[in-house]
Amino acid sequence: VSADPMALTLLKEPGAMGADIAVGSTQRFGVPEGYGGPHAAYMACKDAYKRAMPGRIVGVSIDAHGNRAYRLSLQTREQHIRREKATSNVCTAQALLAVMASMYAVFHGPEGLKAIAQRIHRKAVRLANGLEEAGFKVDPKSFFDTVTVDVGPLQAAVMKSAVDEGINLRRVGETRVGITLDERTVPATIEAVWRAFGIRRSDEKFEAQYRFPDDMLRESAYLTHPIFHMNRAETEMMRYMRRLADRDLALDRAMIPLGSCTMKLNSAAEMMPVSWREFSMIHPFVPQDQALGYKHMIDDLSAKLCDITGYDAISMQPNSGAQGEYAGLLAIASYHRANGQGHRNICLIPMSAHGTNPASANMVGWKVVVIKTAANGDIDLDDFRAKAEKHSENLAGCMITYPSTHGVFEETVTEVTKITHDHGGQVYIDGANMNAMVGLARPGDVGGDVSHLNLHKTFCIPHGGGGPGMGPIGVKSHLIPHVPGHPNGGEGAVSAAPYGSPSLLPISWSYCLMMGGDGLTQATRVAILNANYIAKRLEGAFEVLYKGPTGRVAHECIFDVRPFEDSAGVTVDDIAKRLIDAGFHAPTMSFPVAGTLMVEPTESETKAELDRFCDAMLAIRDEIRAIENGDMPRENNALKNAPHTVEDLVGEWDRPYTREQGCFPPGAFRVDKYWPPVNRVDNVHGDRNLICTCPPMEEYAEAAE
Ligand SMILES: *Cc1c(COP(=O)(O)O)cnc(C)c1O
């Protein structure tokens, strides 16, 4: 069942109607339209299917002190852990928008939401009554907030009159118009809609009326968790959000060295326009002459991205890198079909590829053939050539990343793309690492036919804790007619909105405008310099797994910490958790090589912050050495017990290091210390308790008082 969560505050919930799965958009919960996005969707299912659902579920676990700890469960299903078990190609989703929608529910609570829904419905009923009393036929008989009106040959005239009133109606077929109301509709709006139909009356009959059957009314309670009952004052709501923000270790506090994620500055000047109503309050299907500013921005940004990538056209439809991959592969598949080569279904993908690559290839129905990694970390060229030859007849293409996920500019890249083309395949270059290339090299010049760009990486859109994003694709001219959603044909759309999440684009556009061409190139140089600075400062303490022939890395590098498992019983998890004590978010763990850490500083970090990070890493190396030397026990040390919380400052202390050493390692600030809200979380316990069970009813009663 596809269902609007706002309507569900009044209507019987899909689960109670026998549905197995419910989906819908949460845009309705306080998220602006933004000319199409971003906004979060939801997907809910019966208990029986929870382990087959894509994505992750917030579950409850306990930490080392036995305190409650919320955590994302079931990461074993994600593409990078077990590719063949991945249930979707989604990586970046819409976490921030989901948070926004949830805050709307937290603030209004079930009673407030129900009152909003009732007001929306009553207005829709009043509007329909007025139209019916004037002789118009309104459908359907039962509705929540949306009706269509039969206007016969007057469709264009009615829509035009509405525009003159400042209102857009929706064209439905040849003879009908659609009208949807929301909580912002006021009597003057309803009267203006009536006027567009030639009805002159005032909206003043305010009795409560329902236009849906009694057995569709909701009977069950919802949003029973105390949090939906304790933030009714704006002051409390503000403090609640502040408390949550304080628990987060975000970019406004410290460098986030997540390799491949490109966690760079999202400047305030770039982000301010996102909330301007000129960008945020536009419906995706307004007549084009009402969105000329958007058109100018999208055209100009597309031209700049073509210039940067060496491609001939850009599609702004995909909402993430992975969706861009899917769209790009659909374009390749369509191209092969148009050439009578529809049987081509083999995709060559290196072992080191991001998990979304094989998952996307699976989604378009292709077979993935994995290419080995050579000793130096590069694509094994002999293996690539052999497999391209073997599958020559059916080769659809290859998916490669440049510079590679190993953080190296592979010098054989043009050979790889040539081999693919020689066998009739098309080349997909994953553009997630564009931060190492902008201004210096272009995927379109090294043989790429199509690439996605992660605007939420290289082009400054913030990650939002897992989205929103924008993953536009650039294509060479021969693929233009095959791009999904292109008006001239090709495959079907990958997003319902023509430009994906366009209200994010002012960020990337103003980034390009403010930096200018030289500035963008300089940013790339500094990003590469910063990564090499870290690699050099940590030399001797941590081994860089892969380097290019000149001994340098690209914009990120992989530190091999696997030897410490043997020498000290220290795992990649222990190091990541210990970095939290020093006030750093963990680097990327176990991607693309299990048991390693991948660090990407970006150009945004100062030398002082890079040094703070290196100091923290070197201090961790000293702690590992103390275990190796037998000066610290293998099971009870600051690494194994990390992260430390304020709970560790009080109560019993039976550890072979001091509280001071535990809580304030080198790199940690004293006054501005980041305190994690939980100690080490029990992962096994968490995966056994998938759904967060609500606190007992007594707590709920107290909170409601
Ligand atoms: C981030 C990333 C992706 C996926 O992009 P999303 O926007 O998260 O879907 C694909 N490939 C690489 C190399 C990446 O780093």
Is 354 near ligand 1, meaning CB less than 6 Å away?
Answer: yes
Look at residue 458 in the predicted model and tell me its pLDDT.
Answer: 98
Same domain flag for 652 and 562:
yes
Considering the domain boundaries, does residue 590 fall inside one? yes
Residue 76 pLDDT greater than 70, yes or no: no
Average of per-residue pLDDT values in the chain: 93
Residue ranges in 431-553 assigned as alpha helix (H)? 505-537
Whose CA is closest to 578, among 533, 628, 619, 633?
Answer: 619
Domain that holds residue 458: 272-505
Q: Give the whole-angstrom CA distance, residue 441 versus residue 436.
A: 9
Look at residue 701 in the predicted model and tell me its pLDDT.
Answer: 47
CB 438 within 8 A of CB 74: no
Look at residue 705 in the predicted model and tell me its pLDDT.
Answer: 40
Domain CATH for 172:
3.90.1150.10
- Ligand 1: which of 89, 92, 357 to mutate, judged by most atoms within 8 Å of the beta carbon? 92
Cα-flanking dihedrals φ and ψ of residue 450, to 5°?
-155, 145
Is 356 near ligand 1, meaning CB less than 6 Å away?
Answer: yes
- Cα(173) to ligand 1 centroid in Å equals 39
pLDDT band for position 695 (cuts 50, 70, 90): low
* 551 CA to centre of own chain: 34
Considering the domain boundaries, does residue 234 fall inside one? no
Last residue of one domain, picked from the residues 450, 477, 505: 505
What is the pLDDT averaged over residues 254-280?
96
Same domain flag for 56 and 25:
yes
Same domain flag for 500 and 524:
no
Look at residue 703 in the predicted model and tell me its pLDDT.
Answer: 45
Considering the domain boundaries, does residue 289 fall inside one? yes
CB 305 within 8 A of CB 453: yes
Give the number of the atom of ligand 1 that is nearest the alpha carbon of residue 260.
15
Look at residue 71 in the predicted model and tell me its pLDDT.
Answer: 86
Last residue of one domain, picked from the residues 472, 505, 538: 505
Considering the domain boundaries, does residue 693 fall inside one? yes
Q: Which tens digits make up the pLDDT trace of 493-547?
A: 899 889 999 999 999 999 999 999 999 999 999 999 999 999 999 999 999 999 9
Q: Give the whole-angstrom CA distance, residue 171 versus residue 173.
A: 6
Same domain flag for 574 and 658:
yes
Residue 268 pLDDT greater than 70, yes or no: yes
Is 638 near ligand 1, meaning CB less than 6 Å away?
Answer: no
Same domain flag for 175 and 276:
no
User: Measuring from atom 15 of ligand 1, which residue has the nearest CA?
Assistant: 260
Q: Tell how strand 426-430 and strand 450-452 pair up.
A: parallel
Q: Which tens digits make up the pLDDT trace of 365-403?
A: 999 999 999 999 999 999 999 999 999 999 999 999 999
Same domain flag for 569 and 478:
no
Give the number of the atom of ligand 1 that is nearest the alpha carbon of residue 92.
8
Percent of the chain with pLDDT strictly greater than 70: 95
Same domain flag for 386 and 434:
yes
Question: Rounded to two decimals, what is the model's pTM?
Answer: 0.95
Is 368 near ligand 1, meaning CB less than 6 Å away?
Answer: no
Same domain flag for 667 and 522:
yes
Residue in this structure with the two tokens 């078990």, named with its chain if needed: 85
Q: Tell how strand 137-139 and strand 146-150 pair up.
A: antiparallel
Q: Which tens digits make up the pLDDT trace of 481-490?
A: 999 985 555 5
Is 642 near ligand 1, meaning CB less than 6 Å away?
Answer: no
Same domain flag for 665 and 692:
no
Same domain flag for 146 and 95:
no
Residue 556: Cβ-neighbour burial (10 angstroms; 0-12, 13-18, 19+): buried
Last residue of one domain, picked from the residues 505, 537, 564: 505
Is 471 near ligand 1, meaning CB less than 6 Å away?
Answer: yes
Considering the domain boundaries, does residue 226 fall inside one? no
Percent of the chain with pLDDT strictly greater than 90: 87
Same domain flag for 419 and 294:
yes
Look at 52-66, 171-185, 399-413, 526-540 and tell me which has the smallest mean pLDDT. 52-66
Same domain flag for 341 and 294:
yes
Domain count of the fold of the chain = 4
Q: Give the whole-angstrom CA distance, residue 298 versus residue 13.
A: 40
Look at 158-162, 399-403, 698-702 and tell me which has the smallest mean pLDDT. 698-702
Considering the domain boundaries, does residue 245 fall inside one? no
Domain CATH for 287:
3.40.640.10
